[in-house]
Structure 1
Amino acid sequence: MALASLLILLTAAGYAVLCAVKPFAPCRKCSGTGVRTRRRTVTLCRRCHGDRARLRLGRRLLNDSRTIHAHGTRPHATDRKATPWQ
């Protein structure tokens, strides 16, 4: 049981490192080409908009959690009436 928990923890840590080092992955819909071929017409991929990459799920979760934390803890610049050094 402890070995399984350790394996799951190491897998999650490895994925977190992968998301930090390489946040983008090839688009699954167009296989990283950026275009789709349908009935002899070539169009931009609707999922990646021709960028050929997508943001990983783990990186998206990290970005959202950082945004939520920033909005919940830091005062907004428009709310400050005093000087920045006080």
Structure 2
Amino acid sequence: MTPTELASNAAIATLIIVTLGYVLACLIWPFKACRTCRGAGKLRSPFLRSYRLCPTCNATGLRLRRGRKAWNALSRLHRANRRR
């Protein structure tokens, strides 16, 4: 094996490990903190007196991860094709 092949194999193995780790994280922890309200579910007014509910996460403080959204879409497609 040449050093170039070794480096490319290491890069591919690293990419596979990172991808599988993200898939596993999406299966175990499908939600993450909302970026708009930072997981609080509410936003402060500009003068720091009042609150309003976060419209992005519907006041839950959680958002579905992108990987989990893709997983759900693929599951729906699979179920729809299986019923035919």
Return 5+ residue gaps in structure 1 as ranges: 76-86
Counterparts in 2 of 1:23-34, with a 5 A limit?
Answer: 23-34=30-41
TM-score (norm 1): 0.82
**Which residue is 1:7 aligned to?**
14
Return 5+ residue gaps in structure 2 as ranges: 1-7
**Which residue is 1:18 aligned to?**
25
Alpha-carbon distance between aligned partners in 2 of 1:50 and 1:63, rounded to the nearest angstrom: 22
**Which residue is 1:67 aligned to?**
76
Give the RMSD, CA atoms, in angstroms: 1.0
Per-residue deviation at 1:42? 1.0
Percent identical across equivalent pairs? Answer: 31
Post-superposition Cα deviations, 1:5-60, rounded to whole Å, max 9, x if no partner, equal 11011000000000011101111111000001123331111110100101011011
**Which residue is 1:46 aligned to?**
55
**Which residue is 2:4 aligned to?**
none
State the one-letter code of the partner of 1:31: R
**Which residue is 2:3 aligned to?**
none
**Which residue is 1:84 aligned to?**
none
Number of residues of Structure 1 aligned to a counterpart in Structure 2: 75
